[in-house]
Structures are given as structure tokens and as C-alpha cells.
Amino acid sequence: MWNVLKFIIFGLIGITKSIMKLFIPMKYQMKNISGEIALVTGGAGGLGRALALSLVKHNAIVVIWDINQKGIEETMKLIKIAGGICYGYVCDIRNCEEVYKKAELVREEVGLVTILINNAGVINIGKFLETPDYLLNRSIEINIISQFWTVKAFLPAMIKNNKGHIVSIASVASHAGCPKIVDYCASKHAVAGFIEALQLELNLEGHNINTTIISPYIIHNTGMFLNEFSRLIPSLNSTEVAEKTIISLRCNKHFVLIPASLKIIIILKWIMPWGFLVMLSRNIINYNVESNYKPIEESSRSKVQNDAKQ
């Protein structure tokens, strides 16, 4: 009986705190990140570059990881022009040993990372059964497994100093399935589950570490070939998403949908019959969009997979 009563009491306290927070102006909720070291994966372009530039506006010291050396140099140049400080490293985040080595190098050359933004991601557009195996592996390795390595690389120091924030860029696809990007949806659902469970574990252990899951709709011109994927809802601008991400980080928000109006669709998903979700998919998604890869024969897959690893 006491356990049930305790559950109700603490539940009401949590709800009351959340309601009270709604009436506090956002500017009073924001923490100062000036001078903090923030690492962004996939920072050579797209949303990653926009996040790096937005962090600089808030006077953070930026570190970017990517496999694209040219893109890294371009981002660093833009940040320098903006008057910011940026360090760039080539790092294949699929390789845990390389992640750990580069993390140690960052500690030696830059300092302790207090903000980690897991942004790097890939997408395969096409029917699941026609998607080559190596591309399915790549989706899981980059979109979710890599986050295990980056978190393991930087979280221990955050815990030791009792200060840190981990941001993971998920997607609206982490809340609802979508045809023709099946493996992407699976990986983004995993991201949301990973960060939510990690935050609960950190809270139960008494660590003052925050996490934020950012779930944006389609962002145009990010190199992910999604510009023609949506029919009804307009795609987003990477700069806008980046700024909302940094504001959410500064306000210690846990779950953020961009745009916020998509909450209606997520709620409807759970209260409406399955036929509603099917109808919604038909009207929102351009199901006839072409694949962003060339289907290959089964006999050729091993060769392509080996080439991709080199």
C-alpha cells in the first residue's frame, strides 16, 4: 500500500514541477555553455555543420568529427570567419577503437568534452527487401552502434566531474514507422530507447548528467536525399533545427519534436486504429520516390561490402 501511495505522491510532484516550468520564461531556464567544449559527430556538413556554427554563437569551443577531411576543413573555416574556435578530426565512428583513441587525443589537445552531440547519420531509401545487406549494416553501425562508442568514450569523465550533456539527433521516425526507410526507423527508434534508458540509469545512480533526444522532421539539403520524400509537411531548414537543438540543450529538455506540432500525429498514432496510420503514410509520404542507391545482385554484395570497409 505504501509503495502505491509513494508512486502517486512522487508522480504528482513530477507533474507539478513540469507544469510550473511551463510558466518560467525560457531565458531564465537556459544554462550558460560559454567556454564549454562541445563535440559534434558528422560535423563536415549538413545539420552537423549548422550545429557547430550555432554552438559558436553561444561561445562554446567546438570539436567536429567526420570521415570527410575536406568538409571538416570547410566547417572549421566558416567557424573561424564567425570568430569561433573549432578543432577537427577525421574519425570513423563505426570503429570503437578509433573512437576511443580520438577521444583521448581530444582530451590531450583540447580538453574535457562536456557536451556530446551525436549527429552523424545515414539513410537508405528503398524497399526493405531490396536494400543491400551492407547498407543495412551501415545504418545500424552509424546511426546507433556508434553512439555506444562515443558515449562510452566521454561519459566517464562527465560522471567524474558531475557535469555533462549528451544530445542525440533522432528523428520523427523514432516515434512512428515509415515505409521505404524501414532500417532507418529501426535505428532511430533504438537511439530514442538508448538515450531514454541511459538518462534513467544516470538519474537512479545520482549523476548530474543531462540528455536530450532531438526528433526533427525531414531537413532539406542535408545530403540524405529526402527533399522529395514528403508530400504535405514542409521540410525543415538545418540552421533552424540547429538553433532549436542548442536552445533545448541549454534548457535541459529531454524530448524535443521539431516542429512541435508533430506531437499531434504521435498522439493520434496511439489512439487511432491501424488504418489511420496507413492512410496517413499514403498521404504524407511520397511512396514513389526513387531509391538513393542502386540495387545489386546477391552475388555482388560481398564484394561491395568488402570495398565499403576499406
SS3 178: coil
What is the rounded (10 degree) CA torsion for 272, 273, 277, 278?
Answer: -160
Residue 262 one-letter amino acid: L
Cα 201 to chain centroid distance, Å, stands at 19
Cα 299 to chain centroid distance, Å, stands at 34
The sign one gets for the Cα dihedral 116, 50, 52, 46 is positive
The size of the chain, in residues, is 310
Report strand pairing: 209-216 vs 86-90. Answer: unpaired
Q: Cell digits for 57? A: 554563437
CB 156 within 8 A of CB 204: no
Report strand pairing: 86-90 vs 115-118. Answer: unpaired
CB 84 within 8 A of CB 106: no
Closest CA to 40 of 57, 56, 54, 52: 52
Task: Examine the residue annotation and report whether 89 is marked as an active-site residue of this protein.
Answer: no
Closest CA to 117 of 248, 2, 194, 212: 212
Residue 19 exposure: Cα atoms within 13 Å on the Cβ side: 6
SS3 225: coil
Q: What is the largest CA-CA distance in the chain?
A: 63
Of 87, 134, 184, 217, the catalytic one is 184
Catalytic positions: 184
